[in-house]
């Protein structure tokens, strides 16, 4: 077995807040192989974005990051010198952010922003950088790429800006791309196109892709494997088809059941819901963080729940003995 491009074990992120320590990410273990798409899915505040920022070393300075290890292509990012980290970031590991308007520099032309990482990482001279920028802009489906280089971000639509972000991430030929909600700010018909493009480029260049999203629809359609996060923990992970067909954690089942589906949902037929609220992560949590909202919770759930591993790397953090059935009348 080859070395995974990303191998994170027992990652924790703690952030000091006014009333204590916020345990935003707790014991997250995940791996991404070359050519593989791992989707990290969860709702607001589950720690999915912080996980990707922790990998990139982009956490706010007040945050404390710990892990057993956090290897990028075998090299541990934890004890890496800032200089070595700068060599990797934007070069062999790149990030695509959610909001293409705020993550592009409004005072720089598209061309300058695209060529900067290429030049900075010493991949070639200015002419080569420009050639690659044009090649990638065309590859991500931007017409008249040469003309775009002299334009500023505000002259492009949201869909085009996100394509520029993708092209920028690809400039140095990365081994790993971290994409945080790359299509959330886009229109639905554009979203499908951008996801197509990401999946295609990932196959073409054999990159690992860690895609952070809140949308199980996206997960189902693009992920090879999925990690479901709740309250800072990965509560379930495994091959996408297995997790969707036989979810072992009630939260995963709850998420699947609350999505409106054209063929299933009808006027008058309610969606599944998850009652209650996410617990506060200030001060940490004993036992299963989902137990207050869980229809199956029993007394042992108040104690620490070990991770159970099934076939094909399917793992879950729940004591239930079997897959969680849908509670809907007409499950999909």
Partner 1 sequence: MSDQQPILELRNVVKRYSVGRGMFAPKRPLMAVGGVSLSVPRGQVLGLVGESGCGKSTLAKMVLGLETPTEGEVLIDGRPIAQLGRLERARLVQPVFQDPYSSLNPRKTIASIVGLPLAVHGEGSAAERETRVAEMLALVGLSPRHAAAYPSQLSGGQRQRVAIARALILKPQLLICDEPTSALDVSVQAQILNLLMDLQSRLGLTSLFISHNLAVVQMLATRVAVMYLGRVVEEGPTAEVMVRAQHPYSRGLLASVLTPDPRLGLPDTRLGSVFPDPLAPPPGCAFHPRCPLVFDRCKVEAPRLRNHQGASRAACHAAERDAAAMIPA
Which residue spans within 214-312 are E strands per DSSP?
Answer: 225-230, 233-239, 308-309
Contact flag: residue 271 with partner 1 (CB under 8 A)? yes
Question: Closer CB to partner 1, residue 123 or residue 214?
Answer: 214
Instruction: Check: CB of residue 252 under 8 Å from CB of residue 233.
Output: no
The residue to which tokens 């639509």 are assigned: 157
Q: For partner 1, give the closer residue by CB, 72 or 244.
A: 244
Tokens found for residue 129: 């950088």
255 binds partner 1 (CB under 8 A): yes
Q: How far is the CB of 56 from partner 1 (least distance, A)?
A: 24
Report in angstroms the alpha-carbon separations of 78 from 69, 92, 263: 7, 16, 47
Q: Cβ closer to partner 1: 58 or 332?
A: 332
Residue 164 to residue 142: CA distance in whole angstroms: 8
Q: Is 146 in the site for partner 1 (CB under 8 A)?
A: no
**Interior CA angle at 99 toward 95 and 104, to 5°?**
70
Q: Is 244 in the site for partner 1 (CB under 8 A)?
A: yes
Contact 146, 134 (CB under 8 A): yes
Number of residues that bind partner 1 (CB under 8 A): 52
Min CB(221)–partner 1 separation in Å:
5
Buried b (16+ CB within 10 A) or exposed e, 194-212: bbebbbebbeeeebbbbbb
For partner 1, the binding residues in 197-216 under the rule CB under 8 A are 199, 214-216
E strand or H helix at 210:
strand 208-213
Residue 311 binds partner 1 (CB under 8 A) = no
Cβ 244 to partner 1 shortest distance, Å: 5
**Which one among 60, 82, 262, 306 touches partner 1, defined by CB under 8 A?**
262
- Contacting residue, 157, 203, 309, 330, with partner 1 by CB under 8 A: 157
Q: Which is nearer to partner 1, 71 or 314 (CB)?
A: 314
Sign of the alpha-carbon dihedral angle for 130, 133, 138, 141: negative
322 touches partner 1 by CB under 8 A: no
Site for partner 1, residues 37 to 76, rule: CB under 8 A: 43-44
Q: Residues in the site for partner 1, rule: CB under 8 A?
A: 43-44, 141, 143, 157-159, 187-196, 199, 214-223, 240-241, 244-245, 254-256, 258-263, 265-268, 270-274, 277, 332
């Amino acid at each position: 077995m080859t070395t995974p491009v990303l191998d994170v074990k027992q990652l924790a992120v703690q952030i000091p807040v006014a009333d204590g320590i916020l345990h935003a990410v707790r014991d997250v273990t995940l791996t991404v192989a070359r050519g593989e798409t791992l989707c990290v899915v969860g709702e607001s505040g589950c720690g999915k974005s912080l996980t990707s920022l922790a990998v990139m070393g982009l956490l706010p300075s007040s945050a404390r990051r710990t892990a057993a290890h956090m290897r990028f292509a075998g090299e541990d990012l934890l004890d890496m010198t800032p200089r070595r980290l700068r060599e990797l970031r934007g070069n062999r590991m790149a990030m695509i952010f959610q909001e293409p308007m705020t993550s592009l520099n409004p005072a720089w032309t598209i061309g300058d922003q695209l060529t900067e990482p290429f030049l900075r990482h010493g991949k070639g001279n200015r002419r080569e950088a420009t050639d690659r920028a044009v090649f990638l802009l065309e590859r991500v489906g931007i017409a008249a790429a040469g003309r775009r280089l002299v334009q500023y971000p505000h002259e492009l639509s949201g869909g085009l800006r996100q394509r520029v972000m993708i092209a920028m991430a690809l400039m140095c030929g990365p081994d790993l791309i971290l994409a945080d909600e790359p299509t959330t700010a886009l229109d639905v018909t554009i979203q499908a196109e951008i996801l197509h493009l990401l999946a295609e480029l990932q196959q073409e260049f054999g990159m690992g892709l860690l895609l952070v999203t809140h949308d199980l629809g996206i997960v189902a359609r693009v992920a090879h494997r999925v990690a479901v996060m709740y309250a800072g923990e990965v509560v379930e992970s495994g091959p996408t088809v297995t997790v969707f067909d036989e979810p072992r954690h009630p939260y995963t089942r709850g998420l699947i059941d609350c999505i409106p589906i054209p063929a299933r949902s009808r006027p008058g037929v309610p969606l599944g819901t998850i009652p209650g609220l996410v617990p506060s992560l200030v001060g940490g949590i004993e036992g299963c963080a989902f137990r207050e909202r869980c229809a199956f919770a029993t007394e042992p759930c108040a104690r620490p729940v070990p991770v159970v591993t099934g076939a094909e790397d399917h793992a879950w953090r729940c004591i239930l003995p079997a897959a969680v059935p849908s509670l809907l009348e007409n499950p999909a």
